Amino acid sequence: MSDQTSMISARGLRKSFVQRSRKGPGIEFEAVRGIDVDVRRGVAFGFLGPNGAGKSSTMRMICCVSPVSGGELRIFGLDPATHGPEIRSRIGVCPQEDTLDNELNVWENLYVYGRYFGLPRDVVRDRIDELLDFVQLTEKAQAKVDDLSGGMKRRLTIARSLINKPEILILDEPTTGLDPQARHVIWDRLFRLKQQGVTLVLTTHYMDEAEQLADRLVVMDKGVIVAEGSPRELIEQYSTREVAEIRFGVGENEALAPKVEDLAERVEVLPDRLLLYTDDGERALQDVLGRGLRPETTLVRRATLEDVFLRLTGRSLAD
Amino acid sequence: MALVNTAVTTAVARPVRPGEAVGLLVYRNLLSYRRAWFVFATGFLEPVLYLFSIGIGVGRIVHGFEFNGEAIDYRDFVAPGMVAASAMNGALLDATFGFFFKLKYDKLFDQMLATPLTTLDVARGELAWSLLRGGIYSAAFVVVMLLMGLVGSWWAVLVVPAALLIGLAFGAVGMALTTFMRSWQDFEYVTLGMLPMFLFSATFFPVTAYPDWLRWVVECTPLYRGVVLCRELTTGALSWGSAVSVVYLVALGVGGLVVVRRRLDRLLLK
Ligand SMILES: Nc1ncnc2c1ncn2[C@@H]1O[C@H](COP(=O)(O)OP(=O)(O)OP(=O)(O)O)[C@@H](O)[C@H]1O
Ligand SMILES: [Mg+2]
């Protein structure tokens, strides 16, 4: 499915922002602190990380709308500083915040946007029909953007990002704020694009989304990459096979943690529950009960990316 | 059908040429105003109302008015000033309020910059639109003048291109200033600058009414240069001063455009 062609390559990539104050020199803040990334053709590549990790800053540099502060970045082997328009004509962008044109209706949004890519009128018209169908918005073609629901706007943004038949599709939190059904529609569409050979680069706060869509993942924290691999590899490397979740009464979890610490390879204390990392969750649970502890609820499950995330960033993904 | 479908799959996206980009941005603005033609039309009314109330109303009681050493009807004096003012109004409306809204609230330019368009394309396209709006207002105004018999020379045909120059200067400078605005309150300054210019730039009376120093100040304002240029054209009294006005207005337009582009880089490509 993937070949060796490098679509995106970053070496020691940095991004800093200067926050100007009224008096005195500006304060420099480094949002991305030297990351290496390689995305090959046909791959679905995911960026995970807590708020402020630098995911969007990285996406914006890849989209050539944010100048690189340091290091090297190449997209299709081209330098964004000198080939911005060429690169942008070959990528599709779904930014974190919708940037739809509220003064135009749905159809016009797609039409005008498509024309910005130098595509002939009739080509854009035909593609609009296809894309509206693809994101199930055909009957909304004449609707005002303001009248669309959040999920419909997101779908329209995705349709818009596909109008130029991009080789790379960049999605910054494509499904944040959507209901489960809308998310499944989008996953399905993205999956089809992947099968057509489109390279996907996405950020997300949803672990299930990352597991479903991404072939390769990087976890970012405070501007650096802290782990990289396929979802499977990451789980194997950073977590045990199973997790036993136990929940005691409000406020008791932390106090009881020392009593179960030796029953698992690692114990994670969350405000509302304890997570026991072990290869045999049922066994750990029996041991907990054997010590006379009576949790209010218990659950044994397979480890997920959420556990990897917790381990690496010390925060739960939903933060 | 098969033929069309081949085109659909083979057409390749590419960066657009500068001229194309301008056309596309103007087209986008036309689309958005199609539902707001009323807003578009009202911008034209103000100078027309002034022409009727002051040019014609007040004109009835003003006699022996001289311009360039010749006797001239007061309304013939006021009308070309109103052409210039309508060009200024037309250009500034979109270059200030409209531009600010697109820049800060609508995120419209962020959307455009995700495509092959550049900040220079955005600056040129928006300026072209302001210019077009100013041009349409002035052309309509010239038609009003013609209907009322206020045009005294064939040179008047050139009033429309002159109005475009005024639109260019005001559009570019207006957009440049707008990039520095932080909130809607700051637009009070625009109103504060426009109103005195409108009233005192030789629109309703000649600059000879001022003391010398003040006259110099007024002669340096862009509206004054525009008003005088239009008046020279409608009365057929062209001079070297007209050429100076042309150069001055073009320089403002180009300078403004350069600033707008730099500021858009700063504001949008963070
Ligand atoms: N234009 C800017 N000026 C100053 N600081 C900025 C700017 N954009 C981002 N930052 C800072 O850079 C850091 C990284 O932000 P970024 O948007 O890349 O995070 P993120 O990983 O996308 O987070 P989230 O999950 O919340 O979207 C943050 O601390 C943010 O405050
Ligand atoms: Mg983000």
Cβ count within 10 A of residue B185 = 8
**A87 within 8 A of A75, measured Cβ to Cβ:** yes
- The pLDDT of residue A318 is 40
- Contacts of residue B220, defined as CB under 8 A and 6 or more positions apart, other chains included, come to none
B7 pLDDT band, cuts 50/70/90, is: low
Whether B20 shows a pLDDT value over 50: the answer reads yes
- B169's CB contacts (< 8 A; 6+ apart) are B222, B226, B248, B249, B250, B252, B253, B256
Q: Which domains does chain A have, with CATH numbers?
A: 6-235 (3.40.50.300), 240-302 (3.30.70.980)
> CB of A49 closer than 6 A to ligand 1?
yes
- At residue A167's C-alpha, the angle toward residues A162 and A173, to 5°, is 60
pLDDT surpasses 90 at B126: yes
Which of the four pLDDT bands, split at 50, 70 and 90, describes residue A3? Answer: low
Give residue B157's pLDDT.
80
Determine which of A101-105, B162-166, B184-188 has the lowest per-residue pLDDT on average: B184-188
Instruction: Give, using CA atoms, the residue closest to atom 28 of ligand 1.
Output: A52
Query: What's residue B151's pLDDT?
Result: 77
Evaluate whether A87 touches A78 at the Cβ level (below 8 Å).
yes
Residue B82 reports pLDDT greater than 60: yes
How many percent of chain A have pLDDT more than 90?
A: 76
* A95 within ligand 1 shell (Cβ under 6 A): no
Residue B103 confidence (pLDDT): 94
Nearest CA of chain B to the CA of A255: how many Å? 47
Q: Is there an atom of ligand 1 within 6 Å of A57 CB?
A: yes
Tell me which chain A residues have a C-beta less than 8 angstroms from the C-beta of B20: 118
In sequence order, what are the beta bridge partners of A216? A45
The tens digit of pLDDT for each residue in B34-58 reads: 877 777 777 778 888 888 888 778 8
Please judge whether A99 and B15 are an interchain contact, meaning their C-beta atoms are less than 8 angstroms apart. Answer: no
Distance, CA of A112 to CA of A105 (rounded, Å): 11
User: How do residues A252-299 score in pLDDT, each as one tens digit?
Assistant: 888 888 888 889 998 988 888 999 999 999 999 999 999 988 999 999
Mean pLDDT over residues A117-123, rounded? 96
Tell if the CB–CB gap between A113 and B31 is shorter than 8 Å: no
Where is pLDDT greater, at B20 or A26? B20
Ligand 1, atom 27, residue with closest C-alpha = A51
Tokens representing A21 are 């104050």
pLDDT at B9: 60
Specify the pLDDT at position A319: 38
Q: How many CB atoms lie within 10 A of CB A256?
A: 17
Instruction: Give me chain B's average pLDDT, please.
Output: 87
Cα–Cα distances (Å) from B221 to B100, B217, B232, in that order, read 24, 7, 17
- Residue A317 pLDDT level (bands cut at 50, 70, 90): very low
Over residues A141-198, the pLDDT tens digits come to: 999 999 999 889 999 999 999 999 999 999 999 998 788 888 898 999 999 999 999 9
Residue range A217-231: mean pLDDT, rounded: 95
* Runs of H (alpha helix) within chain A: 55-62, 80-89, 106-115, 121-134, 150-161, 180-195, 207-213, 231-238, 253-260, 281-290, 305-313
Q: How far is A112 from A128, CA to CA, in rounded Å?
A: 11
Structure token pair of residue B180: 């520095």
Return phi, psi of residue A173, to 5°. 50, 65
> Three-class SS of residue B106?
coil
Contacts of B14 in chain A (CB under 8 A): 89, 117-118
**In this model, does residue B1 exceed pLDDT 50?**
no
Residue (of A149, A116, A153, A109) closest to B32 by Cα position: A109
Which DSSP state fits A31?
Answer: E
Report the sign of the C-alpha dihedral through residues B103, B108, B112, B117, in that order. negative
CA A18 distance to own-chain centroid: 26
pLDDT, tens digit (0-9, with 9 covering 90-100), for A29-43 = 999 999 999 999 999
Higher pLDDT, B140 or B119: B119
Contact A245, A280 (CB under 8 A): no
How does pLDDT run across A65-78, given as a tens digit for each residue?
A: 999 999 999 999 99
CB B162 within 8 A of CB B242: no
Contact B240, B90 (CB under 8 A): no
Per CB-CB distance under 8 Å, the chain A contacts of B113 are: 65
> Where are the domains positioned within chain B?
34-268
Query: What's chain B's length in residues?
Result: 270
Contact list in A for residue B104 (CB cut-off 8 A) is none
| CB contact (8 A) between residue B15 and residue A67 | no
* Alpha carbon of A268 to ligand 1 centroid (Å): 28
Q: Does residue A90 carry a pLDDT above 80?
A: yes
Residue B73 confidence (pLDDT)? 84
Nearest residue (CA) to ligand 1, atom 24: A51
Full-model pTM: 0.89
Residue B248 corresponds to which tokens in the numbers above? 């001055």
pLDDT of residue B2: 44
Are A76 and A7 spatial neighbours (Cβ–Cβ below 8 Å)? yes
* Contact assessment for residue A88 and residue A64, using Cβ atoms and an 8 Å cutoff: yes
> A99 and chain B: CB distance < 8 Å anywhere?
yes
Query: Given an 8 Å threshold on Cβ–Cβ distance, is B14 in contact with A165?
Result: no
- pLDDT tens digit sequence for B206-239: 888 889 899 988 988 999 999 999 988 888 888 8
Q: Does A146 touch chain B (CB under 8 A)?
A: no
Q: What is the A48 CA–ligand 1 centroid distance (Å)?
A: 14
